[in-house]
Amino acid sequence: MTDLVAQALYSGVLTGSAYALIALGLALVFGTMRIINLAHGELVLLAAYIAYTCESQLGLFPLLSIPAAIVVVCVATTLTWYVVGRIERDHELNSLLLTYGIGVMLTNGALLVWRADIRSTKSAWLQEPVVLGPLYAMRSEVLFFVVSVVLIGALWWWLTRTWAGRALRATASNRDAAMLMGIDPRRVQLVSFLVAGLLAAFAGTAIYTIGVIQPSLGISLTVKAFIITVLAGMGSVPGVLAGALLLGVTESLTTTFASSALQELAGMVLFLLVLFVRPSGLFGRRIGAV
């Protein structure tokens, strides 16, 4: 029994690390632009399909597709940043509708180009099990866990120690004040989009090598990233990490003790619980006494 739980925890943490990359990207963009990019999951999907194309058409090892994924996804996010910036009125509502439209285009684009079939990596090396005592994982899971940790660490360092990162945090905290300090919000927003794109590219490749992909995955990932940000509460990067791990572990425990079909439901129940009991999130700042 404890073996099962330990395995579930282990797998959950590994999966959670990929979720963290996705959720962080969403949170960064929300922080600087105050918009939720409803197409974010589709960006991850795009990266995943690029990995697929590189592997199936060019015979490349999936990890080598990452540079291509980064380029394509960053171009997509730059375009998104550009069009969202052109919205003049009702910014909150219209940006939601616009990114929703972009998401629809990307999902259907994926459907058009790659059809609805389920795809996954054929690389045997990536799928080989790695055994750590009683715990088992695929090589790809462990590999991308390490990659995620490195990326998140780098992001943390970048946000706290570089001027660009500080500018981003300043804009997220108080846009007008940041402008008064000479920070160009548009540039900062572009940077946040690019960073989100970078993280998404890695996450997409990870998902391709770890699981299966199909066009409908885009929305599913956006929903998960959203659930994580609610779990985390606003303005908390460590919270996003913890939320991502929590979601990963919850899904994994559900798969082990119930069924894999219910794992999405598990995330939802978690989401509802937090919403009912602690709406500011598990790690969010509690403002005032209300």
Partner 1 sequence: MRGRSLSALVVVLALYALVPVALGGNLYLMSMVVAALTIGGIALAWALLGNLGGLVSFGHAAFFGVGSYASAILVMKAGWPIAAGLLAGGVFAAVSAILMLPALRLRGPYFALAVLAYAHIFRIIATEWKSLTGGAGGIANIPRFPVVLGYDFSGKTGAYWIVLTIVVLFVLVYDRVRNSDYGLALRAMHDSEEATRVVGVNSTLLKAAMLFLSAFMTGVLGAFNAHYINFLEPDYAFSGLWTMLPIVAAIFGGYRTITGPVLGALVVYLVDQLVFKELMPIGHQIILGALLGAMILFAPAGMLPALLRRRGWRHA
Partner 2 sequence: MLDLAGVSVQFGGLRALDDVSLRVAAGEIVGLVGPNGAGKTTLFNVVSGTVAARQGTLAFDGADLAPLPTHARARRGVGRTFQIPQPMHTLTVTENLLVAQRFGAGRIDRAALAEILDLVGLSGKAGIDAATGLSLTELKALEVAKALATGPRLLLLDEVLAGLEAHGKRMFTQLLGAIHARYRLAILIIEHDIETISTLCPRVAVLDFGRLIADGPPGEVFRHPDVVASYTGRGRVDA
Site string for partner 2, 269-288 (x = CB under 8 A): ------------------xx
- Residue 230 near which of partner 1, partner 2, none (CB within 5-8 Å, type-dependent): partner 1
**To the nearest whole angstrom, how small is the minimum distance from the Cβ of residue 77 to partner 1?**
15
CB 205 within 8 A of CB 51: yes
Place of tokens 């088992």: 136
- Residue 223 near which of partner 2, partner 1, none (CB within 5-8 Å, type-dependent): partner 1
Give residues in contact with partner 1 (CB under 8 A). Answer: 30, 35-36, 38, 83, 86-87, 89-90, 92-94, 96-98, 100-105, 108-109, 111-112, 115, 219-220, 222-223, 226-227, 230, 261-262, 264-265, 268, 271-272, 275-276, 279
Which residues have C-beta within 8 Å of that of residue 258, sequence separation ≥ 6?
266
**To the nearest whole angstrom, how small is the minimum distance from the Cβ of residue 285 to partner 2?**
9
**To the nearest whole angstrom, how small is the minimum distance from the Cβ of residue 286 to partner 2?**
8
Nearer to partner 1 (CB atom), residue 101 or residue 129: 101
Nearer to partner 1 (CB atom), residue 83 or residue 159: 83
- Residue 180 near which of partner 1, partner 2, none (CB within 5-8 Å, type-dependent): none
User: Binders of partner 2 among 40-79, rule CB under 8 A?
Assistant: none
- Residue 1 near which of partner 2, partner 1, none (CB within 5-8 Å, type-dependent): none
**To the nearest whole angstrom, how small is the minimum distance from the Cβ of residue 63 to partner 2?**
46
Say which DSSP state 89 is in: S
CA-nearest of 282, 172, 173, 287 to 232 is 282
d(C-alpha 97, C-alpha 251), whole Å: 30
Binding to partner 2 by residue 289, rule CB under 8 A?
A: yes
Binding to partner 2 by residue 89, rule CB under 8 A?
A: no
Which residues have C-beta within 8 Å of that of residue 62, sequence separation ≥ 6?
51, 54, 55, 121, 123, 126, 205, 208, 209
Nearer to partner 2 (CB atom), residue 133 or residue 288: 288
How many other C-beta atoms can be found within 10 angstroms of the C-beta atom of residue 262? 15
CA-nearest of 255, 151, 198, 199 to 23 is 199
CA-nearest of 205, 206, 204, 212 to 260 is 212
Helices (DSSP H) in the chain: which residue ranges? 2-33, 40-58, 66-85, 91-114, 124-127, 139-161, 163-173, 175-180, 185-210, 217-232, 237-257, 263-277
Binding to partner 2 by residue 290, rule CB under 8 A?
A: yes
**To the nearest whole angstrom, how small is the minimum distance from the Cβ of residue 168 to partner 1?**
19
Nearer to partner 2 (CB atom), residue 10 or residue 283: 283
- Residue 159 near which of partner 2, partner 1, none (CB within 5-8 Å, type-dependent): none
- Residue 288 near which of partner 1, partner 2, none (CB within 5-8 Å, type-dependent): partner 2
Which residues have C-beta within 8 Å of that of residue 129, sequence separation ≥ 6?
136, 137, 138, 139
Which residues of the chain form contacts with partner 2 (CB under 8 A)? 287-290
